[in-house]
Amino acid sequence: MSEIVPAIIARDIEEVKKKLALIEGAAQWAQIDVMDSVFTPPVTFHDPAALRDITTAVRLEAHLMVAHPENSIGAWLDSPVARIVLHYESVSPEKLAELTAKINAAGKEAGIALKLETPISVLDPLFQVSGSKIHAVQLMGIAEIGYHGHPFDERVLEKARALHARYPDVILAVDGGVNERTIPLLSDAGVTRFIAGSAIYASKDPRQTIKAFEEIIKNSAA
CATH number for the domain spanning 143: value is: 3.20.20.70
What span, in angstroms and rounded, lies between the C-alpha atoms of 23 and 29? Answer: 9
Closest CA to 193 of 149, 167, 160, 159: 160
Phi, psi (rounded to 5 degrees) for 106:
-85, 0
Name the amino acid, one letter, at 187.
Answer: S
Closest CA to 166 of 120, 108, 219: 120
Q: Total domain count for the chain?
A: 1
Name the amino acid, one letter, at 59.
Answer: R
Name the pTM for this structure: 0.95
Q: Which domain holds residue 90?
A: 3-221
Distances, alpha carbon 188 to alpha carbons 47, 83, 164, 192, 221, in Å: 37, 25, 11, 10, 8
What span, in angstroms and rounded, lies between the C-alpha atoms of 77 and 93? Answer: 20
Q: How many residues does the chain have?
A: 222
DSSP reduced 3-state for 94: helix
What span, in angstroms and rounded, lies between the C-alpha atoms of 144 and 95? Answer: 24
Name the amino acid, one letter, at 8.
Answer: I
Q: How many CB atoms lie within 10 A of CB 128?
A: 9
Tens-binned pLDDT, residue by residue, of the chain (222 aa): 899 999 999 999 999 999 999 999 999 999 999 999 999 988 999 999 999 999 999 999 999 999 999 999 999 999 999 999 999 999 999 999 999 999 999 999 999 999 999 999 999 999 988 678 999 999 999 988 877 778 899 999 999 999 999 999 999 999 999 999 999 999 999 999 999 999 999 999 999 999 999 999 999 876
What span, in angstroms and rounded, lies between the C-alpha atoms of 97 and 139? Answer: 18
